[in-house]
Amino acid sequence: MDEEATTRALIVFGLSLLLGPAIGGLVGWRTNFFWGVGVGALLIGCAGLYGAASLGWSRYQSIAGTASVQGSLVEFVDEQSKDSKGRVTVSRAPVVEYVTPDGRKRRVKGLGGGLADKEWGDPVEVRYRVADPAQALVADFQNMWGGVWGLGIFGAFPMMFGLFFIGMARREAREKQGAYVRPELREPTPGQKRWRTRGTVLANLVFLAGFALVFLYPDPSPMKQFGAGFMTIGAGAILHFLVQSLPPAMDFQSRSILAIVGLGFLAFGYGAWMMAA
- pLDDT for 84: 62
Q: Which of 91, 121, 143 is the last residue of a domain?
A: 143
Mean pLDDT of 143-169: 93
User: Are residues 272 and 194 both part of a single domain?
Assistant: yes
The interaxial angle of helices 33-64 and 3-30, nearest 10 deg, is 170
DSSP states of 94-144 as a string?
Answer: EEEEEE-TTS-EEEEE--TTTTTT--TT-EEEEEEETTEEEEEEE-SHHHH
Distance CA 87, CA 215 (A): 29
Q: Per the domain annotation, does 170 fall within a domain?
A: no
pLDDT confidence band for 268 (50 / 70 / 90): very high
Q: Per the domain annotation, does 110 fall within a domain?
A: yes
- pLDDT for 117: 79
Q: Which of 143, 160, 177 is the last residue of a domain?
A: 143
Q: Per the domain annotation, does 229 fall within a domain?
A: yes
Query: Which residues make Cβ contacts (< 8 Å) with residue 22, sequence separation at least 6?
Result: none
**What mean pLDDT, rounded, does the chain reach?**
89
User: Angle 18-20-21 (CA atoms, 0-180°, nearest 5)?
Assistant: 80
Q: Residue 272 belongs to what domain range? A: 186-276
Q: Per the domain annotation, does 232 fall within a domain?
A: yes
Distance CA 237, CA 28 (A): 31
User: Are residues 135 and 193 both part of a single domain?
Assistant: no
CB atoms within 10 A of CB 217: 17
Instruction: For the chain, give the percent of residues with pLDDT over 70.
Output: 95
- pLDDT for 212: 93
45-49, 115-119, 244-248, 254-258: the lowest-pLDDT one = 115-119
Mean pLDDT of 127-144: 91
Residues 46, 24 contacting (CB under 8 angstroms): no
Mean pLDDT of 91-99: 91
Q: What is the pLDDT of residues 25-84, one digit of tens each?
A: 999 999 889 999 999 999 999 999 999 999 999 999 888 889 999 999 999 988 777 666
CB-neighbour burial class of residue 129 (10 A; exposed 0-12, middle 13-18, buried 19+): middle
Sheet holding 105-109, edge to edge: 105-109, 88-99, 66-82, 123-129, 132-138
The total number of structural domains in the chain stands at 2
Query: Which residues make Cβ contacts (< 8 Å) with residue 209, sequence separation at least 6?
Result: 232, 236
Q: How far is CA 230 from CA 147, 154, 234, 244, in A?
A: 20, 17, 6, 21
Q: Per the domain annotation, does 10 fall within a domain?
A: no
Q: What is the pLDDT of residues 168-209, one digit of tens each?
A: 898 888 877 776 666 666 788 888 889 999 999 999 999 999
Residues 92, 63 contacting (CB under 8 angstroms): no
Q: Per the domain annotation, does 255 fall within a domain?
A: yes
Distance CA 186, CA 248 (A): 6
**Helix (H) / strand (E) containing 74:** strand 66-82
- Look up the pTM and report it: 0.84
Q: Per the domain annotation, does 203 fall within a domain?
A: yes
- pLDDT for 83: 61
Between the two ends of the chain, the Cα-to-Cα distance in Å is 22
Residues 131, 35 contacting (CB under 8 angstroms): no
Q: Per the domain annotation, does 167 fall within a domain?
A: no
Residues 35, 27 contacting (CB under 8 angstroms): yes
- pLDDT for 161: 94
Does residue 1 surpass a pLDDT of 80? no
User: Are residues 193 and 272 both part of a single domain?
Assistant: yes
For residue 185, give the 3-state DSSP assignment.
coil
Residues 42, 159 contacting (CB under 8 angstroms): yes
Looking at the DSSP bridge assignments, the partners of residue 66 are 129
Give alpha helix (H) positions in 31-90.
33-64
Find the CATH number of the domain harbouring 130.
2.40.50
Q: Which of 119, 143, 167 is the last residue of a domain?
A: 143
